[in-house]
Amino acid sequence: MNEREFKRHAFKLLLAWLALLVLMLSSLGSAYLSLGVGNLIAGVAIATVKSSIVALLFMRLARSSATVRLVAVVGIATWLLLAGLSGVDYATRSRQPAAFQLPRQLPSLAPEQEPR
Amino acid sequence: MNANAAAREHPHDAGGREPPREIGQLGMWVFIASEILFFGGLFVAYVYGRSHWPNGFAQASRHTDVVLGTLNTGVLLTSSAVIALAVACAESPAFRRWTARLLWLTAALGVIFIVIKGMEYRKEWHEHLFPGPGFELDAGGAQLFFMLYFVMTALHALHLAIGIVGVSLFAWATGQAKSWAPPRRIDIMALYWHFVDVVWIFLYPLLYLVERHS
């Protein structure tokens, strides 16, 4: 990296850092608005944008080789697949909580020995 | 067989030459992919808890310290930007002398994060928010939220602590001009640091910002 390239890259990093801080504050601000499910969507969407900045610019995924990018995508896709399959189970299973019971000692099932 | 032909047939064993830069990056990304699945399981547990006990999760999240949480997010984002700059300096002869200092700054920001996290844990312990007998909140699921909160943030802090040790080693080695700390390895260390930052980027809204408005 020559001096001119370095300066351009450093300027990009500065802008990315400022963008990350602005996004963090907007995430914080959105949490104080009453948006219903929109609060969750805003929080996760902003986190996704922030992670994309970190992955593409800081981790240089945008300039990495196809193999490296493939590994990153496979990691995320595998997680989404496993999370989705787990969700199929948990989202369709009805929850039937049992009443809380204090633990207690049950009588032994072994035949009692005759005292000699 | 001459040396060039040998290098073509065995590109990673080419007579002590540097391996292609991509090899190390690829190795770290495979590790990060496994880490995505490692933390991913906990995020699935979180989604399950929050969708089944939304009120308990909301009540519990309002008891986390949003000021310290936001401050820590800023500290970690800044540390990521600093280590990205350190990598750029390492690759640029004119600015190489800044690399070690920026790596030390990154490690210091990591230590500040862990100190702030410790202050939070201390506060939560005194407020009886640690799951177990005498837990403060009564809503169903609140205790599950704090169990996930402590497990996820502690695992994250453990990863960060490993990162601090690694970055400090590279900072020291770069200052001493050790041969085992070339720019391409600093780049790989930085990849790990950024990943730990990305985990926190998702933990922040999910743990600190649930139903803050009510």
Contacts with B, A 9-48, CB within 8 Å: 9-10, 13-14, 16-17, 20-21, 24, 27-28, 30-34, 39-40, 43-44, 46-47
Contacts with B, A 74-103, CB within 8 Å: 74-76, 78-79, 82-83, 86-87, 90-91, 95
pLDDT tens-digit profile of B161-200? 999 999 999 999 999 999 999 999 999 999 999 999 999 9
Domain B23-208, CATH: 1.20.120.80
pLDDT tens-digit profile of B20-57? 888 999 999 999 999 999 999 999 999 999 998 999 99
ipTM summary value = 0.89
DSSP string, chain B: --HHHHHHH-TT-STTPPPPHHHHHHHHHHHHHHHHHHHHHHHHHHHHHHHH-HHHHHHHHTTS-HHHHHHHHHHHHHHHHHHHHHHHHHT-GGGGGGHHHHHHHHHHHHHHHHHHHHHHHHHHHHTT-SSSTT-S--STTHHHHHHHHHHHHHHHHHHHHHHHHHHHHHHHHHHTT-TT--HHHHHHHHHHHHHHHHHHHHHHHHHH-SSTT-
pLDDT tens-digit profile of A16-73? 999 999 999 999 999 999 998 899 999 999 999 999 999 999 999 999 999 999 999 9
Any B CB within 8 A of A49 CB: no
pTM above 0.80, yes or no: yes
Residue extents of the structural domains in chain B: 23-208
